[in-house]
Every structure is written in structure tokens, then in C-alpha cells.
């Protein structure tokens, strides 16, 4: 939890820096709200028992509840973040950060705006967060559903097979083109020459120059959807250059994303191994953030089908927790789980009352303080407690100190002790622990 709080803090600060408000929705939704939104993965939804009343399910992600919330409250314009747990009846894989109950950290911009401005901001946010977390080098793959659909059309895939071929393409980050082609031809009934044509496209990736090259592609440029997608990507790259993150972005025709609801730009951030470890090309070690544009989802919940265009991103925070934890373990770095600044201790017996009085004074002054819950603890035990809990200071009361109106302040690491006048103790603790003055 201590690690989690640090990661959340980085993420929340970034979301707030971009002017988002925070919303909350219930952990369960009406079962029908979730039905038909997640394709094959719908079988992973947790249902509640029918105990009378509405049929309910636990939320599967935060995007569908957000769209439901917008439609229900007739909101057409909001920038919000939502950090909460979602639920999937999946096989957990602890080391890879995959659980049945896990956090999602979502940021979305809803509203009718000029093209690619909010989309570019979403990518900027992803880059800011991944850089701040210092979890290694990363790359953001970008594509557009309209380019994919246009590409499928000109390669000769029938409309009805777009989504299933899309999910085959989506596997290219894990398996080879040969295997994907086998699936397309063997399982999904595509003609081999159609698959090969797709193969020529989806194995390409690059920067804005690839966008421009495809805009000249004699076939693709004839497809209206693909042309729109490519035009928008070109604009997107312009904005990303202004944001100073174009070097982090790769236009990758193999990026497809699993979810049904995307309608435009899609993206996925992957961590790269260090070049020394991998061969020529950096090897992806998995997605840590993803998102895209979904202009049709809110309309599905509006009685009149009114659309609210949305674009957003989700940080794969459980994977990030695993990475940060592993790094801390490797460094043998101990993370403090409390923030206590000072332990109120005594060197002699019969000073419980004095300890209680002093710790109370410190709490009232906003100092994070503890005492051992024993009448007559040994000084050694009190010092040991500080070492274990990482408490930096000990305020020691003794008979003589009480007479002199001072407290002995001891630094746990240096073992230095100085007498501080009781009325100066709060200021001295704040000074030593670098806590800004603040009224609590």
C-alpha cells in the first residue's frame, strides 16, 4: 500500500495538472448496462445473486460506467479522472500484475471539440506519468480504427469479419506474423492472398513519414475512412511535436486493441528493455497504459441515441506496482509504511502520564507522533521500535528533564542527543523532519 500510494500520488497529480475533476460511480451496475459491451470477455463479468430487486453485476472497467453516467446525467462536456477497482473472473497471474480485483486509473475527455487536441493531451498525459514514475524507457504505439477498417476493406476482408480479424492482428505484439496469418486463414477463413496483403501493411511502423507515405498509397488513399484516419494522425503528430513527445510515439499498423467500442485513434504504451539486454530492436515487456477514442458509447445509453465524443486513457497500475516493487526489492530498499516523525519515550519508570501529556501536545500541534502502549517500557525497546519503523526522532522524557523544562531529542540514525526547551520542541521537530508549517 505504501508503494501504491506513491504511484497513485504521481498519477493523481498529473491528472489534476491537466484540469480534471474526479468522479465516483458504484461498484455495481445494472447487469444490462454491461451486456454486449466487452465482446468475448463478457463471460468474465461477476454477477450478484438475485436477492430481489434489480439484477446487478460488478463493473468490468471504468469506461462503460462513465459513458452510462454521462448519458444518465445528460452531460456533454467533462474532463474527469476515476481511480477505482474493477472485477474480472479471470485467471490471476500475480507476477504479471493480473488479478481478479484490480485498480484502473482512467482519464477521459468528453465533448465535441476540434480534432486531435484532446487526443494529443491524452498522449501527453501518458508520457508525463510514465516519465515521472521512472520505470524505464517506453514507447507509445498509435494507430486508428478507421485506418485498420480501411485497410481491411481494400485488402478484401468482408465487413462482417473486421472485428475478428482485428483481434487476430492485435496478437502481433505477442506472436509472429506467421502464427497470426495461420489463425486468419485456418480459423477465420480468410483467403491466403488477403492475409498476405494485410501482412504487408501491419508489419509497418514508423513516425509521421509513414503517415505521409500511406497518404500517397494508391489503394489506401482511395478509402474514405482510412484517409480520414491518416489525416487526423498527421495532425496528431503536429501537436505531439509541439508537446515535445513525438520521439516517444510510433505509428504502428499492427496495433488493434481488443475492445469493441473504439472508433478513432487508439494507443498503447509499452515498456522497453534496455538496448544492452535485447538484440537489435528493443523488446516490449508489455502494455502499461492504453486508450483511444470512443465516439459511440455514450449514445448507446441515451434514450435518443445522442452521441458524446470521448477520448481517454487508462494506466495499467497493477503492472506498474509489480515493477516498482520488484525494483525496490532488487535495491533492498525498505519502504516506510508510516510517516511518524517522533516517538515519545521515557528513560525511567512511572512516566506514562508525562508521555501521554507530551504526545497529546505534539498531536495537537500537527506532529506525527507515537508512544508505546506500555506503562513502563524499556528505553531499549522504544529505540528498537524506532529502528524497525524508520521513525527518525525520539523525544525522551526523564525526571531531570521535567525539572529543567526540557525534552531530550535524539536522532535515531546518528544517536546524537540534545536538550530542547519544551516550548521549542514542535518547531525543532518540524525543522528536522522538513515538514512545512501547516495548521492541522
Strand (E) or helix (H) holding 357: helix 352-364
The rounded Cα 238 to chain-centroid distance in angstroms is 26
- In the complex, the smallest distance separating the C-beta of residue 276 from a copy of itself, rounded to whole angstroms, is 28
For the chain, how many residues are written? 440
Binding status of residue 368 toward a copy of itself by CB under 8 A: yes
HSE value, Cβ hemisphere, 13 Å, CA-based, for 129:
35
Q: How many Cβ atoms from other residues are within 10 Å of residue 207's Cβ?
A: 15
Burial (CB count <10 Å: 0-12, 13-18, 19+), residue 388? exposed
Q: Quote the least distance from Cβ 249 to a copy of itself, whole Å.
A: 14
- Part in contact with a copy of itself (CB under 8 A); list of ranges 158-166, 178-186, 240-248, 287-295: 240-248
Strands 342-346 and 393-397: parallel
Element (H, E) at 87: strand 78-87
Q: Does 374 bind a copy of itself (CB under 8 A)?
A: yes
User: Please, is 50 exposed, middle or buried when counting C-beta atoms within 10 Å of its C-beta (0-12, 13-18, 19+)?
Assistant: exposed
Q: Where are the alpha helices (DSSP H) in 86-160?
A: 117-133, 145-155
Q: Does 13 help bind a copy of itself (rule: CB under 8 A)?
A: yes
Among 338, 348, 384, 413, binds a copy of itself (CB under 8 A): 338
One of 218, 303, 434, 436 touching a copy of itself (CB under 8 A):
436
Rounded to an integer, what distance in angstroms lies between the CA atom of residue 391 and that of residue 369?
A: 9
Interacting residue with a copy of itself among 144, 149, 260, 370 (CB under 8 A): 370
Residue 410 marked ligand-binding: no
Residues 131-160 that bind a copy of itself (CB under 8 A): 132
The residue range among 117-125, 155-163, 260-268, 276-284 that interacts with a copy of itself, by the rule CB under 8 A, is: 117-125
Q: Is 243 in the site for a copy of itself (CB under 8 A)?
A: yes
What cell was used for 88? 474480472
Q: Does 434 bind a copy of itself (CB under 8 A)?
A: no
Strand locations in 111-248 (E): 138-144, 205-206
* d(C-alpha 67, C-alpha 296), whole Å: 9
Which segment (65-73, 261-269, 360-368, 412-420) binds a copy of itself by CB under 8 A?
360-368
How many residues in the shown chain lie near a copy of itself by CB under 8 A?
A: 69
385 is in an annotated binding site: no
From 8-16, 62-70, 183-191, 289-297, span contacting a copy of itself (CB under 8 A): 8-16
Determine which residue in the list 65, 118, 199, 392 makes contact with a copy of itself, applying CB under 8 A: 118
The least CB distance from residue 188 to a copy of itself, in Å, is 29
201 labeled part of a ligand binding site: no
Instruction: Round to whole Å and give the CA distance between 143 and 110.
Output: 20
Q: What is the dihedral of CA 201, 207, 211, 216, to 10 degrees?
A: -80
Q: Which of 91, 373, 380, 415 binds a copy of itself (CB under 8 A)?
A: 373
Q: Find the shortest distance in angstroms from Cβ 202 to a copy of itself.
A: 31
Residue 209 is placed in which grid cell?
A: 513519414
Q: What is the DSSP letter of 197?
A: H
Binding residues (CB under 8 A) for a copy of itself: these are 1-2, 4-5, 13-14, 16-24, 26-28, 46-51, 53, 58, 85, 87, 89, 101, 109, 111, 113-114, 117-118, 120-121, 124, 128, 132, 238-239, 242-244, 337-340, 352-353, 356-357, 360, 363-364, 366-371, 373-375, 389, 436, 440
Q: Residues marked as binding for L-histidine?
A: 61-63, 88, 104, 108, 257, 261-262
Amino acid at each position: 500500500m505504501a508503494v501504491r500510494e506513491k504511484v497513485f500520488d504521481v498519477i493523481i497529480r498529473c491528472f489534476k495538472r491537466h484540469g480534471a475533476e474526479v468522479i465516483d460511480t458504484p461498484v455495481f451496475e445494472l447487469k444490462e448496462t454491461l451486456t454486449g459491451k466487452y465482446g468475448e470477455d463478457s463471460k468474465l463479468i461477476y454477477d450478484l445473486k438475485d436477492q430481489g430487486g434489480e439484477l446487478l453485476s460488478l463493473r468490468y472497467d471504468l469506461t462503460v460506467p462513465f459513458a452510462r453516467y454521462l448519458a444518465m446525467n445528460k452531460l456533454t462536456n467533462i474532463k474527469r479522472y476515476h481511480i477505482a477497482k474493477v472485477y474480472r473472473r479471470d485467471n490471476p497471474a500475480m507476477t504479471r500484475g493480473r488479478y481478479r480485483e484490480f485498480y484502473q486509473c482512467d482519464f477521459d475527455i468528453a465533448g465535441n471539440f476540434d480534432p486531435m487536441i484532446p487526443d494529443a493531451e491524452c498522449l501527453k498525459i501518458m508520457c508525463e506519468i510514465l516519465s515521472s514514475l521512472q520505470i524505464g524507457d517506453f514507447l507509445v504505439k498509435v494507430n486508428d480504427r478507421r485506418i485498420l477498417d480501411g485497410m481491411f476493406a481494400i485488402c478484401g476482408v468482408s465487413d462482417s469479419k473486421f472485428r475478428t480479424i482485428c483481434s487476430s492482428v492485435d496478437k502481433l505484439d505477442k506472436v509472429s506474423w506467421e502464427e497470426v496469418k495461420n489463425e486468419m486463414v485456418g480459423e477465420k477463413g480468410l483467403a491466403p492472398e488477403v492475409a498476405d496483403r494485410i501482412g504487408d501493411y501491419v508489419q509497418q511502423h514508423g513516425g509521421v513519414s509513414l503517415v505521409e507515405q500511406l497518404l500517397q498509397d494508391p489503394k489506401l488513399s482511395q478509402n474514405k475512412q482510412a484517409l480520414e484516419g491518416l489525416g487526423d494522425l498527421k495532425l496528431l503528430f503536429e501537436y505531439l511535436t509541439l508537446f515535445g513527445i513525438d520521439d516517444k510515439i510510433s505509428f504502428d499498423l499492427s496495433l488493434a486493441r481488443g475492445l469493441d467500442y473504439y472508433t478513432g485513434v487508439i494507443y498503447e504504451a509499452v515498456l522497453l528493455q534496455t538496448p544492452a539486454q535485447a538484440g537489435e530492436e528493443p523488446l516490449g515487456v508489455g502494455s502499461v497504459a492504453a486508450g483511444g477514442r470512443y465516439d459511440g458509447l455514450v449514445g448507446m445509453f441515451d434514450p435518443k441515441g445522442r452521441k458524446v465524443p470521448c477520448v481517454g486513457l487508462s494506466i495499467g497500475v497493477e503492472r506498474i506496482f509489480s515493477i516498482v516493487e520488484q525494483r525496490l526489492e532488487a535495491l533492498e530498499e525498505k519502504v516506510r509504511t508510516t510517516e511518524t516523525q517522533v516517538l515519545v519515550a521515557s528513560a525511567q519508570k512511572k512516566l506514562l502520564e508525562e508521555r501521554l501529556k507530551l504526545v497529546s501536545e505534539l498531536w495537537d500541534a500537527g506532529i506525527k507522533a507515537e508512544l508505546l502502549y506500555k506503562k513502563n517500557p524499556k528505553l531499549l525497546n522504544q529505540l528498537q521500535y524506532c529502528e524497525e519503523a524508520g521513525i527518525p526522532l525520539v523525544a525522551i522524557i526523564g525526571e531531570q528533564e521535567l525539572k529543567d523544562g526540557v525534552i531530550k531529542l535524539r536522532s535515531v540514525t546518528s544517536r546524537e542527543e540534545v536538550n530542547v526547551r519544551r516550548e521549542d520542541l514542535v518547531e525543532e521537530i518540524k525543522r528536522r523532519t522538513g515538514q512545512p508549517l501547516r495548521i492541522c
